[in-house]
Amino acid sequence: MQQSVGMVVQVDARALARRRKVLLASGITRAALESAGWTSPHFGYHRSTQVNDPIRQRILDAVAVMPDGGAVGGWAAAYLQGATYLDGGWGHPAAIGSGLGQPVLLVVPPNTVVNRPGITTLRAKLDNDDVVDVRGIRCTTAIRAGYDLMRLAPDVTEAVVVGDCLLYAGLTTAEQITQYGAAHPGRRGVRQLKKALPLLNGAAASPPETRLRLLCLDAGLPPLLVNAPVFDLEGNFLGIIDLLEPRAGLGLEYDGAQHRELGQHAADNLREERLEANGLAIVRVTSLDLDDSSATLARIQEAHRRRLFRYAVGETWTYQTRAAA
């Protein structure tokens, strides 16, 4: 397998794995290649161990053995184009040094075989409009990446998660993916794609927000507003609520790891006090709560029921909606 000519023009040569014989011919000694300053991500290939972005480095390791006509696809293509939440799971603390995370997807020509660690392949014909150059790396476009990610996701929820991430990053729109899907019918996973597309919301700022939103939707709650700015009746800004059910005045907040930091925790408390002082109720959800979805849903549903039967007074707050991409 040979690298495409010109494919790595803008790629840092130290980060790209190259064939051992090429490195030896360039003057690098065998002793150097066997030192701590070099590593071998694939048999017969070596690269520097100086890594600035471990996630991007995994992608570059795959690029080194990508065949002619191939392109980086899936989460890796989306990551390189700016959808940083789509990191294949490698950005999660549990993935560090554990080998967890998704392999890099290479979209390769039919009848092409790439059998390398950390790589999976999708054999498909790519049109010229399916491919974009990202700093010297041949990638599928965000539209094609979204199409593949959503139809091949493990379930509809995760299909919506990746779609929301692409929309939030401004890389594509639901309409563009819909049009691409209509032009490429009959492929594996298109039914799932069709189910997921109407559920996309480009205002979702993180995957857990999307998972929480869909969890509530599946449980029968009304559609929730996503990251809606809330104001008092004099126009004073009170805060942005992750998920808001305006009829009940119920807000849902997902608290990630950053919310445990003392400064952020204090700011969260002040914001919540402002919101509750103006008549809203807030339910907080963590990653542990999402793992125990049944108990979390019961808690949210009970809070929603209580709010629907709250005393009838004039509202003291209002909100703005954000247009979904």
Same domain, 213 and 196: no
Same domain, 144 and 219: no
Closest CA to 65 of 27, 110, 8, 25: 8
Distance from C-alpha of 124 to C-alpha of 106, rounded to nearest angstrom: 10
* CATH code assigned at 306: 3.40.960.10
Distance from C-alpha of 49 to C-alpha of 37, rounded to nearest angstrom: 5
Q: What is the mean pLDDT of the chain?
A: 87
Whether 32 maps to a domain, the answer reads: no
Query: Which residue in this structure is represented by tokens 């490429």?
Result: 184
Q: What is the mean pLDDT of residues 77-86?
A: 96
Specify the pTM. Answer: 0.86
- Assign 50 a pLDDT band (cuts: 50, 70, 90): confident
For residue 319, list its beta bridge partners: 230
| pLDDT on residue 1 | 33
Amino acid at 196: A
Last residue of a domain, one of 177, 203, 229: 203
Same domain, 70 and 152: yes
For residue 258, list its beta bridge partners: none
Helix axes 156-168, 174-183, angle to 10 degrees: 120
- Assign 229 a pLDDT band (cuts: 50, 70, 90): very high
Whether 23 maps to a domain, the answer reads: no
Distance from C-alpha of 60 to C-alpha of 15, rounded to nearest angstrom: 7
Instruction: Please tell me the total count of domains within the chain.
Output: 2
Q: Which of 236-240, 289-293, 294-298, 313-317 has the lowest mean pLDDT?
A: 313-317
- The answer on pLDDT for 213 being more than 50 is yes
Same domain, 243 and 193: no
Same domain, 182 and 279: no
- The answer on pLDDT for 257 being more than 60 is no
Same domain, 227 and 199: no
Instruction: Please state the separation of Cα 166 from the chain's center in Å.
Output: 7
| pLDDT on residue 322 | 63
219 against 181, higher pLDDT? 181
Q: How far apart are the first and last CA of the chain?
A: 40
Residue 136 contacts residue 287 (beta carbons within 8 Å): no
Whether 261 maps to a domain, the answer reads: yes
309 against 39, higher pLDDT? 39
| pLDDT on residue 102 | 93
- The answer on pLDDT for 23 being more than 70 is yes
Whether 33 maps to a domain, the answer reads: no
Same domain, 306 and 226: yes
- Assign 261 a pLDDT band (cuts: 50, 70, 90): low
| pLDDT on residue 9 | 37
Question: What is the span of the domain harbouring residue 289?
Answer: 208-319
Whether 225 maps to a domain, the answer reads: yes
| pLDDT on residue 314 | 54
Q: What is the mean pLDDT of residues 129-148?
A: 97
* Beta-sheet pairing, 225-232 with 104-108: unpaired
Last residue of a domain, one of 142, 170, 203: 203
| pLDDT on residue 312 | 47
| pLDDT on residue 52 | 83
Instruction: Please state the separation of Cα 302 from the chain's center in Å.
Output: 31
Whether 6 maps to a domain, the answer reads: no
| pLDDT on residue 309 | 77
| pLDDT on residue 271 | 81
Structural Rg of the chain based on CA atoms: 23
Same domain, 131 and 228: no
Last residue of a domain, one of 150, 184, 203: 203
Query: Which residue in this structure is represented by tokens 């390189």?
Result: 80
Same domain, 82 and 180: yes
Whether 146 maps to a domain, the answer reads: yes
- The answer on pLDDT for 21 being more than 70 is yes
Whether 30 maps to a domain, the answer reads: no
Distance from C-alpha of 119 to C-alpha of 74, rounded to nearest angstrom: 12
Same domain, 176 and 69: yes
Same domain, 198 and 241: no
- The answer on pLDDT for 71 being more than 90 is yes
- Assign 11 a pLDDT band (cuts: 50, 70, 90): low
- The answer on pLDDT for 255 being more than 50 is yes
Same domain, 141 and 233: no
